[in-house]
Amino acid sequence: MMRALWTAGTGMVAQQANIDVISNNLANVNTTGFKKSRTDFQDLMYQTIRQAGAATGPDTQLPTGIQVGSGVRQVATQKIYTMGNFQNTGNQLDVAIEGDGFFRITMPDGTINYTRDGAFKMDSAGRVVTSEGYPLEPLITIPEGTTEITISSDGRVSAKIPNQTNAQDLGQIQLSRFINPAGLESVGRNLLKETAASGAPVDNIPGAEGAGTLVQKYLEMSNVQVVEEMVNMIVAERAYQMNSKAITTCDSMLEVAAGLKR
Amino acid sequence: MIRGIYVAGSGMMTEATRTDVIANNLANASTAGYRKDVAIGKDFRSMLIRRINDGPNSPLIGSMGVGSVIDEVATIHEQGGIRPTGNKFDLAIEGRGFFAVETPAGVRYTRNGGFTRSAQGELVTVDGYRVLGQGGAIQLGDPESQVYIADDGRVMVDDAEADTLRIADFADVKRLVKEGANLFAAAPGQQEEPVAGITVRAGYLEHSNVNVVAEMVNLIAGYRAYEINGKAVQAHDSLLDKAVNDVGRV
């Protein structure tokens, strides 16, 4: 059958995957700390029908050959780590990272996951936890009766307790950085996991060695730009349509071929 | 048999290949750094027709074409549009040149600058192949190091010049061989040449240079040519039908 039929088919599949990624970006437009993804494509194999450089005479050769490509494939979805907008929430356990780095979260199985979502809460034991109840690492426990919590830009957490003159130091939030944050694995719930591609985490206190600083009472919004995603969606839809046109054209050609024999 | 049936058939095969090439261009309309292909057809050398049964000197009575064939699939190395991505390791070349990339099969060339920093601190492609600088793989240092890639291809790590991107050009870019995965290979004997005055844009990616309107027009034109050749085949078939079944009937 015609090569073009399968080639255009790969184009449709690739654009569908593109739409999947764009939809997920749009679905998470209001997700705290969400980082948008982008689909990367590659052209597939080429079939060489005539080799360029083949000899055509004693001292002459073909300057160009005939190579017909066989379509496209989705090769990666890359996370884009640009900053999201900051939103003032007034909540004293909301923390945004200004700059690079991730909060460290202890999972129920004891492993560490990473997040940019700084919408922390306090559980019944006074521990600072994520919305899912997973504690921050290193653990910070807020004593009973605390009236005000202060988180400094370098991550120092202190609590003001009635009848005490000095604020009580509760510890320091740490940030992890990765050599290749694009290689982190998204596991949902705003959490990311370390992989061989991301490299090992480098832990620092906020503000040190290029790590970002913390901003209390603010949340980092997603970095999804709605206009950009809508434009990408239009482009993807039209690309999908064009590939389907190539398929219908191919189909019509096959119909002509089939109609030759009467 | 009637020659024209083969001539029209070769026309159909040419248009089918042309459609294959157009379909590949359309499939790669969103592939960063993709370079479109154009199928160029040619006619076979026409043959001279001689009148026979005319004694020793059979006179020429003219020439006749014997069909068409795809002569060349040429890659058009025209600049594609450039769009911002927000990723500082995405690079786009303005003008001539290719990024040199180290693959298991040897050095390959690409216009797709969608790169990342690997866990080993090297600048790599999405397939994990190392992007080459003047001194081999480009080291971008540890997570703490601040990387900045200047317009002239210099790679600055923590304000010190670490390396310069190896941007390769070729005297005849049309001889480069497409390998898929956005890679081009140099043809045997083809020498890499340095580019004078390169401009690299960090934080941008180059689109494919596929002009979808032109491709759609070519698709329609190709289809109609195919259809018309099909009609010619059918007309010849009718002639043969007459010759075989009607001529000589009493």
Q: Which of B175, B181, B188 sits opposite A64 (nearest CB)?
A: B175
Residues B117 and B89 in one domain: yes
Domain assignment of residue A164, yes or no: yes
Is residue A45 less than 8 Å (CB to CB) from chain B? yes
From chain A, pick out residues whose CB is under 8 angstroms from the CB of B234. 259-260, 262
Residues 164-193 (A) with a CB less than 8 A from some CB of B: 177-180, 182-183
Residues A92 and A197 in one domain: yes
Cα–Cα distance list, A172 to A17, A117, A127, A154, A205 (Å): 42, 17, 13, 8, 7
Average pLDDT, chain B: 90
Residues A177 and A236 in one domain: no
Residues A8 and A126 in one domain: no
- Phi and psi at A181, nearest 5°, equal -60, -25
Note down the domain range covering B57: 2-77+210-247
Q: How far apart are CA A199 and CA A187, in angstroms?
A: 17
Angle between helices B3-27 and A3-27 (to 10 degrees): 20
Question: Under a CB-based contact definition with an 8 Å cutoff, are residues A103 and A97 in contact?
Answer: yes
From chain A, pick out residues whose CB is under 8 angstroms from the CB of B23. 3-5, 7-8, 11, 71, 243, 246, 250
From chain B, pick out residues whose CB is under 8 angstroms from the CB of A82. 86-87
Q: Count Cα neighbours of A170 within 13 Å in the Cβ-side half-sphere.
A: 25
Domain assignment of residue A57, yes or no: no
From chain B, pick out residues whose CB is under 8 angstroms from the CB of A71. 23-24, 27-28
Q: Which of B30, B143, B223 sits opposite A239 (nearest CB)?
A: B30
The total domain count for chain B is 2
Domain assignment of residue A134, yes or no: yes
> 3-state SS string over chain A?
CCHHHHHHHHHHHHHHHHHHHHHHHHHCCCCCCCCCEEEEEEECCEEEEECCCCECCCCCECCCCEEEECCEEEEEEEECCCCCCEEECCCCCEEEEECECEEEEECCCCCEEEECCCECEECCCCEEECCCCCEECCCCECCCCCCEEEECCCCEEEEECCCCCCCEEEEECCEEECCCHHHCEEEECCEEECCCCCCCCEEECCCCCCECEEEECEEECCCCCHHHHHHHHHHHHHHHHHHHHHHHHHHHHHHHHHHCCC
The ipTM (two decimal places) reads 0.80
Q: What average pLDDT does the segment B46-65 reach? A: 76
Q: How far apart are CA B145 and CA B147, in angstroms?
A: 6
Q: What is the predicted pLDDT for the residue at A57?
A: 84
Note down the domain range covering A211: 86-220
pTM of the model: 0.85
Q: Is B52 helix (H, G, I), strand (E, B) or coil?
A: coil
Chain B interface, best mutation among A179, A231, A241, A261, by max B CB count within 10 A: A179
Residues A246 and A155 in one domain: no
Residues A40 and A99 in one domain: no
Minimal CA separation from B163 to chain A, in Å: 19
Cβ neighbour number for residue B136 with a 10 Å cutoff: 12
Across the interface, whether the CB atoms of A11 and B23 are under 8 A apart is answered yes
pLDDT digits (tens, 9 = 90+) for A9-51: 999 999 999 999 999 999 999 999 999 999 999 999 998 888 8
Q: What is the predicted pLDDT for the residue at B194?
A: 83
Across the interface, whether the CB atoms of A69 and B21 are under 8 A apart is answered yes
Q: What average pLDDT does the segment A125-145 reach? A: 92
Residues A161 and A229 in one domain: no
Minimal CA separation from A116 to chain B, in Å: 17
Point out which residues pair with B122 in neighbouring strands: B139
Q: What is the predicted pLDDT for the residue at B1?
A: 66
Minimal CA separation from B91 to chain A, in Å: 14
Residues B176 and B70 in one domain: no
Across the interface, whether the CB atoms of A202 and B118 are under 8 A apart is answered no
Residues A121 and A242 in one domain: no
Residues A181 and A239 in one domain: no
Domain assignment of residue A189, yes or no: yes
Minimal CA separation from B26 to chain A, in Å: 6
Residues B24 and B111 in one domain: no
Q: Which of A82, A183, A242 sits opposite B86 (nearest CB)?
A: A82
Across the interface, whether the CB atoms of B26 and A209 are under 8 A apart is answered no
Q: How confident is the model at residue A1 (pLDDT cuts 50, 70, 90)?
A: low
The total domain count for chain A is 2
Q: How far apart are CA A244 and CA B23, in angstroms?
A: 10
Q: How far apart are CA B203 and CA B88, in angstroms?
A: 4
Residues B183 and B237 in one domain: no
C-alpha radius of gyration, chain A, whole number? 27
Q: Which of B142, B172, B219 sits opposite A246 (nearest CB)?
A: B219
Residues B67 and B27 in one domain: yes
pLDDT digits (tens, 9 = 90+) for A82-125: 999 999 999 999 999 999 999 999 999 999 999 999 999 999 99
From chain A, pick out residues whose CB is under 8 angstroms from the CB of B26. 8, 11, 239, 242-243, 245-246
Residues A194 and A112 in one domain: yes
Residues B239 and B158 in one domain: no
Q: How far apart are CA A91 and CA A114, in angstroms?
A: 21
Question: Under a CB-based contact definition with an 8 Å cutoff, are residues B16 and B216 in contact?
Answer: no
pLDDT digits (tens, 9 = 90+) for B22-48: 999 999 999 999 999 999 988 887 777
